[in-house]
Amino acid sequence: MTRRAIFLAASAIALLPLAACSQGSDKGGTEATAAKGSQSGIDVAAMDKSVAPGDDFDKYTNGSWEKNSEIPADKSNISSFSVVNDIAEKRTADLIAGIAKTNPTSGDEAKIANFYNAYLDTNAIEQKGAAALKADIDRIEAIADKGALAEAIGGSIRADTDPFNNNNYNSENLFGIFTTQSLNDPKTTVPYLMQGGIGLPDRDYYLSSDPAMVKIRDAYGPYVAKMMTLAGIPDAAARAAKVVALERQIAEAQESINDSQDSVKGNNPWKRADLDRKAPGLDWNRLLGAAKLGQQQDFIVWQPGTVTKLSALVASQPFEVWRDWLAFHRANQMTDALPNAFDDAHFAFYGATLSGQPQQRTRDKRALAATSRWLGDAVGKRYVDKFFPASSKSDIERMVTGIKAAFEKKIDGLTWMAAPTKAEAKRKVATMAVGIGYSDKWHDYANFNVRAGDAYGNLDRARRANYEMQIAKIGQPVDKTEWWMTPQTVNALNLPLQNALNFPAAILDKGFYDAAADPAANYGAIGSVIGHEISHSFDNLGATFDAEGRLRNWWTPADLAHFQAAGKALADQYSAYEALPGLHLNGKQELGENIADVAGLSAAYDAYHASLNGKPAPVIDGMSGDQRFFIAYGQSHRGKLRDAALRARIATDVHAPGPWRVLTVRNLDPWYAAFKAPATTKLYLAPDKRVKIW
């Protein structure tokens, strides 16, 4: 559904499904970056200085780490981000376990303890078996006509609030709802109706002839049959085949990732009556009533063609197959809270087959992740109280101010941009709301009923409570300061509709930011993250929104043509990279993130030099300031992926994999000077071939 690409112009990290669910320890890692007594902020031991930086900057900065680091069995990848995530995870684990041990009886702490302990208690889950799932499936089996089917589909709709996980439960519902301000009226909060309906990460998994995709597709049918068998559904193999065939039809109806990233194509305001007129085949009254949207008159339909086709599919396909589709996805969504047979089967497909991950994460880590997700602000408030000092917040605020100033100066210096376009661009920077560490408004979980010993019910009620929290915003004043991540999340985010940035506390830590390190490394690492997020307001998606978050073309025709030509050059540059034999990156799909990398790194570089106040940078560990800046950037994107995870990342992610993000440096003139990279080196680009978008 590419929720991230549509609404949340993400991040320097955004590890997305294949990585976000499988981060782990980085054995070669960036702990050395934060070593006591080190002022350079550079992990010198991770480098391979036998490689010329101009030939392979990733190997030069990370080569020894890549040679000496192994991907743990319960991971599909490791990266610099996983090290920082490990720190945040350990802290969060200590917090949650500490709360759970006190046996609280009321308030958010009781909810945290009850959710965590119930999830962790696999003995109780085994004893209860699949009784709760059977009750759900019995209700699905009782569906007797298409009207009742529409009601069941509406009742399964949930809110899309996780921008970094395309393969979450929302994609398995036929439609998803995302609630935020209107593209056309920044003062109005509306629901966006979005495509869904598939159990594989993206439509291409059903449609591609690539042998790796075919292999996964061939394994998916038996997995669906396995889950239906475990759920007690008779004749599972034959019924599963029909479910998979239906999902292929759903996939054929869906729009591609590239099309779904186009905000202009997605801006389709529909009235309630338009759903009946433009998407016949569904009983929209019953569907919307079950979704608690029965009185809603205004929608934005992001993929209108898909909604029309999906509605027609509901009408044309036997409702018995739709019932089986609902039953399978109900089981598939709830495996974390079901007996081991369900959980193991789910991992065998989604973890091992789809991601190449040999081993499941331990139950305690998964319990921690689930609690931190569904009670995120309750956990996050306690996290920042303990682990995020005011000094870090003020230091990052200073860096943000400097990098925003550098970006404004870049706008002023653009010779190709007309004055009116510059004025609008500078207004976006000046009015950008930047949240650092945590939100000033914490979510209220009063309506989330968490019961001791009820893992299945807690997971179901968590999703319902989140959905109700989101749709309650419809018709309310727009909150430009709303956060979409928790403080304990290792990531960062640009929100184009809000013209806002979020930098959670957990990323503002060693590995990206070290108060004891020389500024060069901090600007190269966390500074490039900050620059990246600012630049997302001016990537191919962000540049379509004005300072108020209104979808509006504020470019002169000549300026827009220049911008698009530069974007095409960058897309072509990345599409030329071959990740595996015969498998190239998708430069068009990754364009927004690559624009943000190039522009953000350049702005961070300028801000670093401005921070020197005219003084020369010191030489530390034999490296100049500029060298440390670029090496820190390269080390912040180190990463290793299993081949299956790499293939999935390229197919579904809008970010280039880390080792190729490192190569952003070849577009910056100062990098060539810093490392004396001559025209004979492999990464050399002639000055007129270096992409400079901002």
Domain that holds residue 526: 28-69+390-437+510-689
Is the Cα torsion angle 41, 44, 46, 47 positive or negative in sign? positive
Rounded to 5 degrees, φ, ψ at 50 are -75, -15
CA nearest 154: which of 310, 324, 247, 286? Answer: 286
Does residue 232 lie within any of the structural domains? no
Q: What integer pLDDT is reported at residue 160 of this predicted model? A: 63
- Other CB atoms within a 10 A radius of the CB of residue 419 amount to 7
Confidence of residue 165 (pLDDT cuts 50, 70, 90): very low
**At residue 164, does pLDDT exceed 50?**
no
The pLDDT > 70 percentage for the chain reads: 93
Rounded to the nearest 10°, the torsion over CA 328, 330, 333, 338 is -90
**Mean pLDDT computed over 239-250:** 98
**At residue 64, does pLDDT exceed 50?**
yes
pTM exceeds 0.75 for this model: yes
**Mean pLDDT computed over 226-241:** 98
The mean pLDDT value of the chain amounts to: 90
**At residue 182, does pLDDT exceed 60?**
yes
Alpha helices in 107-210 (DSSP H): 107-120, 122-128, 131-141, 146-156, 169-172, 204-207
**What is the rounded CA–CA span in Å between residue 128 and residue 687?**
66
Which of the pair, 186 or 312, is modelled with greater confidence? 312
Q: What integer pLDDT is reported at residue 571 of this predicted model? A: 96
**At residue 504, does pLDDT exceed 80?**
yes
Q: What integer pLDDT is reported at residue 80 of this predicted model? A: 87
Quote the distance between the C-alpha of residue 519 and its chain's center: 28
- Beta strand 583-584 with 578-580: parallel, antiparallel or unpaired? antiparallel
Q: What is the pLDDT of residues 73-94, one digit of tens each?
A: 988 899 988 889 889 999 999 9
CATH, residue 568: 3.40.390.10
Alpha helices in 231-318 (DSSP H): 236-253, 257-260, 263-266, 272-278, 284-290, 304-316
SS3 content of the chain, % helix, strand, coil (to 5): 55, 5, 35
Q: What integer pLDDT is reported at residue 528 of this predicted model? A: 95
Q: What is the pLDDT of residues 12-40, one digit of tens each?
A: 333 322 222 322 333 333 333 333 335 89
Confidence of residue 162 (pLDDT cuts 50, 70, 90): low
Does residue 501 lie within any of the structural domains? no
Q: Containing H/E element for 330?
A: helix 319-333
Does residue 637 lie within any of the structural domains? yes
**What is the rounded CA–CA span in Å between residue 374 and residue 157?**
17
**Mean pLDDT computed over 323-340:** 97
Of 159-173, 288-302, 501-515, the poorest mean pLDDT is in 159-173
- Other CB atoms within a 10 A radius of the CB of residue 184 amount to 13
SS3 assignment, position 620 = strand
**Mean pLDDT computed over 443-466:** 96
Does residue 140 lie within any of the structural domains? no
**What is the rounded CA–CA span in Å between residue 246 and residue 250?**
6
Does residue 32 lie within any of the structural domains? yes
Q: What is the pLDDT of residues 601-619, one digit of tens each?
A: 999 999 999 999 999 999 9
Q: What integer pLDDT is reported at residue 171 of this predicted model? A: 62
Does residue 42 lie within any of the structural domains? yes
Q: What integer pLDDT is reported at residue 11 of this predicted model? A: 39
Cβ distance 338 to 119 under 8 Å? no
Q: What is the pLDDT of residues 646-686, one digit of tens each?
A: 998 998 888 999 999 999 999 999 999 999 999 999 999 99
Crossing angle for the helix pair 526-535 and 591-611, to the nearest 10 degrees: 130
Confidence of residue 167 (pLDDT cuts 50, 70, 90): very low
Query: Residues with Cβ < 8 Å from 300, sequence gap 6 or more?
Result: 182, 183, 190, 191, 192, 193, 266, 267, 268, 269, 270
Confidence of residue 158 (pLDDT cuts 50, 70, 90): confident
Rounded to 5 degrees, φ, ψ at 269 are -70, 125
Q: What integer pLDDT is reported at residue 36 of this predicted model? A: 34
**At residue 410, does pLDDT exceed 80?**
yes
Angle at 30 between CA 495 and CA 372, to 5 degrees: 50
Does residue 542 lie within any of the structural domains? yes
Q: What integer pLDDT is reported at residue 693 of this predicted model? A: 87
**At residue 111, does pLDDT exceed 70?**
yes
Domain count, the chain: 1
CA nearest 83: which of 44, 46, 32, 41? Answer: 32
Does residue 407 lie within any of the structural domains? yes
SS3 assignment, position 184 = coil
Q: What integer pLDDT is reported at residue 694 of this predicted model? A: 87
Q: What is the pLDDT of residues 535-577, one digit of tens each?
A: 998 888 888 899 998 999 999 999 999 999 999 999 999 999 9
**What is the rounded CA–CA span in Å between residue 246 and residue 323?**
11
The pLDDT > 90 percentage for the chain reads: 80
Q: What is the pLDDT of residues 314-326, one digit of tens each?
A: 999 999 999 999 9
